[in-house]
């Protein structure tokens, strides 16, 4: 049974770095890609980036200078790190392996 679960701090201060973890089960990270998608409150979905089965990554053009996605296959975890956070980064962050989605984690950027 495929499952994904996001975890991380609910509150981050402006200019700080966000670190999120997606813990997966029921599939291998070396055979599947995991994507991050975010959704600001009351707004639409935004593709953030992905880590592919071979370990390479792709990022949203607007975020790539601040974004890093990595993984630890031994722990079945995928990590998202985004630096220089601003209030506009406040959103629910989802990890997904189509068609499976995590429940999302709300991240608020505020002092």
Partner 1 sequence: DVVLTQTPVSLLISLGGQASISCRSSQSLVHSNGNTYLHWYLQKPGQSPQLLIYQVSNRFSGIPDRFSGSGSGTDFTLKISRVEPEDLGVYYCLQRTHNPYTFGAGTKLELK
Q: Which residues bind partner 1 (CB under 8 A)?
A: 35, 37, 44-47, 49-50, 58-61, 94, 96, 98-99, 101-104
Q: Which is nearer to partner 1, 54 or 99 (CB)?
A: 99
Q: Which is nearer to partner 1, 29 or 59 (CB)?
A: 59
The Cα–Cα gap between 69 and 20 comes to 10
* Helix, strand, or coil (residue 44): coil
CB of 106 to partner 1, least distance (A): 12
CB of 74 to partner 1, least distance (A): 27
Which DSSP category does 43 fall into? S
CB of 13 to partner 1, least distance (A): 27
The Cα–Cα gap between 4 and 78 comes to 10
Tokens of residue 52, six digits: 């592919």
Q: Which is nearer to partner 1, 35 or 71 (CB)?
A: 35
22 class by beta-carbon count within 10 Å (0-12 exposed, 13-18 middle, 19+ buried) = buried
Q: Which is nearer to partner 1, 50 or 85 (CB)?
A: 50
């Amino acid at each position: 049974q495929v499952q994904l679960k996001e975890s991380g701090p609910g509150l981050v201060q402006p200019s700080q770095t966000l670190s999120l973890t997606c813990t997966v089960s029921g599939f291998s990270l070396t055979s599947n890609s995991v994507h991050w998608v975010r959704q600001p409150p009351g707004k639409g979905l935004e593709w953030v980036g992905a880590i592919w089965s071979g370990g390479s990554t792709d990022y949203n053009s607007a975020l790539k200078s601040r974004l890093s996605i990595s993984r630890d296959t031994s722990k079945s975890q995928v990590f998202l790190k985004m630096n220089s956070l601003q209030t506009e980064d406040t959103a629910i962050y989802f990890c997904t392996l189509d068609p499976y989605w995590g429940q999302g984690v709300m991240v608020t950027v505020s002092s």
